[in-house]
């Protein structure tokens, strides 16, 4: 008997399956636009060469390794000292908005002043000069030696070595041991393919505060309606708090083929790198921006009450909402922010040369007239002599209210994550807190390098909440009775301050260059010098601005923050200014 072939034709009355839509490729993120205004850099090493490939004459763009290094060095200098024009214009718009709270206006003014100081190219705008991140796309006819990440890293190394930046990268020596690399390397560098005949690079300096405010949520179709999505976003956006230095550029990404792609898209959107996405979707499945929902979410952020750090309307500069395709069993949603140190810049290498995005080199033009500045900065303040005994300082602060403005002068101790961990270990082994932790206020910060001839490098406050878990143990041991940093804190800090008589003072997050120039007069390493910028520092300050956020009675400003609740800010005037002090 002959076996029947598997390829026997189907009977003529059997319907063939529908072949489905024809192949139609679309990139996931189809951006199309001119991009930002750019200027040509005086960098050599880019040439066109012609060669015959498979019988066809082709033109190639060759890029020297030194070109990539020089470009990276310039890019990270630019983002450390300058901001985009539209970011600065947005800060000025806050000042000019009659609906903005007085605190929104004050913070916006201080950030504009900081930008003007940073533009002097001596003090970087933020003491956390960030992780160096490069996301690049190289065309098929752009030729390098293939070791692009190495050459770009060499330029990053030069920038962080030669400028007054900070080394923040920790190398894992073992699973639990770390050491600062002393170079701010390694960097995160990703180079992908592009069909274009150029080499485009996005350079980002991402500080820890804003990086820590990137979140991924795994949701379901139940949130894919406007009411549920807004409820979801109101809850999640509120958890961002103020620690990452608002006003924020906020990005929300809904959907994605994978969780990691959703998060990456949120980071790119927060940098305004995806502004040229289409604004509608189609059956091909590409991503798009929903500009109407962006406006809706922006209005939502204005009702949360956080404002620009101390209550008000401007929690965000703007919002980007990107919708991506998704697997039918998965709905990732990502939220990311770019903070007041909005540090990113686009560069492009073409046959015409090396070009870089035009950042604003004259931020002072956005400052209001002096009469308006004086109006914004007016107000009384309580002077605090930090060199008095700790019980006297606690007694003085206890007579004030949450939200009262202070002018701090005298000695502070600077200590943050690693120092706190070391001191906790000391207590666990039966030791005591050092006297300096008991006798002086503790400032959570980590300085950038000190410029020649100046007492301090950029030296703004860091995120307070990272130290929350240490507070009760340290206060019980007599230390950390007065703490100074930025952002809101957890209930355990409020409860500990009420139990042990402690205080948490807030400082505006962002103006690190201005604080270094105007308020910090002496800086010296006091202990744990081997930790680099994470060491214990003793600093002297003069007229350092601060506000009582948590007091010894368990009151906390952020417990009552609402759209109509703000604390009274203003410049730290003292008696020498001729101002009346409370």
Mean pLDDT by 10 residues, the chain (582 residues): 44 57 91 91 96 90 98 98 98 96 89 96 95 97 97 98 95 95 97 95 95 96 97 96 93 98 98 97 96 98 91 95 97 97 97 98 96 84 94 97 90 96 96 96 94 93 94 97 94 96 94 94 94 92 92 88 45 41 34
Q: How far is CA 265 from the centre of its chain?
A: 16
Largest CA distance in the chain: 114
Write down the pLDDT at residue 14: 53
- Write phi, then psi, for 567 (nearest 5 degrees): -100, 155
Write down the pLDDT at residue 5: 43
- Write phi, then psi, for 40 (nearest 5 degrees): -85, 135
Q: What is the C-alpha to C-alpha distance for residues 168 and 242, in angstroms, rounded to an integer?
A: 22
Residue 569, CB-side half-sphere exposure with 13 Å CA sphere:
25
The count of other CB atoms within 10 Å of the CB of residue 48 is 10
Write down the pLDDT at residue 15: 53
Write down the pLDDT at residue 34: 83
Kindly report, residue by residue over 180-230, the tens digit of the pLDDT. 999 999 999 999 999 999 999 999 999 998 999 999 999 999 999 999 999
Does 208-340 carry CATH code 3.30.390? Answer: no
Instruction: Give the residue among 211, 183, 212, 76 at the shortest CA–CA distance from 532.
Output: 183
For the four alpha carbons of 555, 379, 541 and 416, in that order, the dihedral sign comes to positive
- Write phi, then psi, for 418 (nearest 5 degrees): -70, -40
Kindly report, residue by residue over 434-444, the tens digit of the pLDDT. 999 999 999 99
Whether the ω angle into residue 247 lies within 30 degrees of 0, i.e. cis, is yes
Kindly report, residue by residue over 386-429, the tens digit of the pLDDT. 999 999 999 999 999 988 888 899 999 999 999 999 999 999 99
- Where does residue 530 rank: exposed (0-12), middle (13-18), buried (19+ CB within 10 A)? exposed
Write down the pLDDT at residue 126: 95
Instruction: Give the residue among 282, 271, 289, 305 at the shortest CA–CA distance from 83.
Output: 271
CATH 3.30.1330 intervals, the chain:
208-340
Write down the pLDDT at residue 275: 97
Q: For the chain, what is the radius of gyration of the CA atoms? A: 27
Write down the pLDDT at residue 18: 63
Q: What is the C-alpha to C-alpha distance for residues 308 and 246, in angstroms, rounded to an integer?
A: 5
CATH 3.20.130.10 intervals, the chain:
380-550
Write down the pLDDT at residue 560: 61
Kindly report, residue by residue over 518-555, the tens digit of the pLDDT. 999 999 999 999 888 889 999 999 999 888 999 999 99
Q: Residues with Cβ < 8 Å from 81, sequence gap 6 or more?
A: 118, 119, 120, 121, 124, 125
Structure tokens at 266: 């949120």
Q: What is the C-alpha to C-alpha distance for residues 388 and 394, in angstroms, rounded to an integer?
A: 10
Q: Per CATH, which fold does 380-550 belong to?
A: fumarase (3.20.130)
Instruction: Give the residue among 464, 542, 559 at the shortest CA–CA distance from 245.
Output: 464
């Amino acid at each position: 008997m002959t076996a029947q072939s598997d390829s026997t034709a189907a009977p003529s009355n059997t319907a063939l399956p529908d072949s489905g839509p024809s192949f139609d490729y679309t990139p996931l993120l189809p951006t199309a636009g001119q991009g930002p205004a750019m200027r040509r850099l005086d960098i050599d090493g880019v040439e066109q060469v012609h060669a015959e490939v498979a019988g066809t004459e082709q033109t190639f763009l060759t890029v020297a390794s030194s070109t990539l290094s020089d470009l990276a060095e310039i890019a990270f200098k630019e983002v450390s000292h300058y901001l985009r024009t539209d970011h600065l214009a947005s800060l000025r718009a806050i000042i000019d908005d009659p609906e903005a709270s007085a605190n929104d206006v004050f913070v916006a003014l201080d950030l504009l002043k900081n930008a003007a100081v940073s533009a002097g190219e001596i003090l970087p705008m933020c003491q956390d000069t960030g992780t160096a991140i490069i996301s690049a796309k190289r065309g098929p006819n752009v030729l390098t030696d293939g070791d692009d990440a190495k050459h770009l890293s060499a330029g990053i190394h030069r920038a962080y070595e030669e400028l007054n930046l900070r080394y923040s990268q920790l190398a894992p020596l073992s699973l639990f041991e770390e050491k600062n690399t002393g170079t701010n390397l390694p960097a995160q560098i990703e180079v992908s393919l592009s069909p274009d005949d150029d080499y485009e690079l996005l350079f980002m300096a991402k500080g820890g505060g804003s990086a820590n405010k990137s979140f991924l949520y795994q949701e379901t179709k139940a949130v894919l309606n406007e009411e549920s999505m807004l409820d979801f976003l109101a809850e999640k956006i509120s958890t961002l708090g103020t620690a990452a230095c608002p006003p924020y550029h906020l990005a929300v990404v809904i959907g994605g083929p994978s969780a990691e792609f959703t998060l990456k898209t949120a980071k790119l959107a927060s940098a305004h790198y995806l502004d040229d996405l289409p604004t509608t979707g189609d059956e091909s499945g590409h991503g798009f921006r929903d500009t109407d929902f962006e406006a809706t979410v922006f209005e939502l952020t204005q009702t949360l009450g956080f404002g620009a750090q101390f209550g008000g309307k401007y929690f965000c500069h703007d919002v980007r909402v990107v919708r991506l395709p998704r697997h039918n069993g998965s709905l990732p949603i990502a939220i990311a922010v770019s903070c007041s140190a909005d540090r990113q810049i686009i560069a492009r290498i073409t046959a015409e040369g090396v070009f870089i995005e035009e950042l604003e080199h004259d931020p002072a033009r956005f400052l209001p007239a002096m009469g308006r500045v004086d109006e914004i900065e007016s107000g009384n303040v309580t002077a605090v002599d930090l060199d008095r005994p700790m019980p006297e300082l606690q007694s003085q602060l206890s007579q004030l209210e949450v939200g009262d403005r202070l002018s701090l002068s005298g000695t502070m101790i600077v200590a943050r994550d690693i120092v706190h961990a070391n001191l906790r270990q000391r207590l666990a082994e039966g030791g005591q807190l050092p006297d300096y932790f008991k006798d002086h206020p503790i400032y959570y910060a980590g300085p950038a390098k000190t410029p020649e001839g100046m007492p301090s490098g950029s030296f703004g406050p860091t995120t307070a909440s990272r130290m929350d878990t240490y507070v009760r143990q340290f206060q019980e041991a007599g230390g950390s009775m007065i703490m100074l940093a930025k952002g809101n804190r957890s209930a355990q800090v409020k409860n500990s301050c009420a139990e042990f008589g402690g205080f948490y003072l807030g400082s505006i997050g962002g103006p690190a260059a201005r604080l270094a120039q105007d308020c910090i007069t002496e800086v010296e390493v006091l202990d744990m010098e081997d930790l680099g910028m994470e060491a214990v520092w003793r600093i002297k300050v003069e007229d350092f601005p601060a506000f009582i956020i948590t007091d010894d009675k368990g009151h906390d400003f952020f417990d009552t923050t609402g759209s109509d609740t703000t604390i009274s800010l203003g410049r730290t005037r003292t008696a020498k200014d001729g101002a009346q002090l409370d």
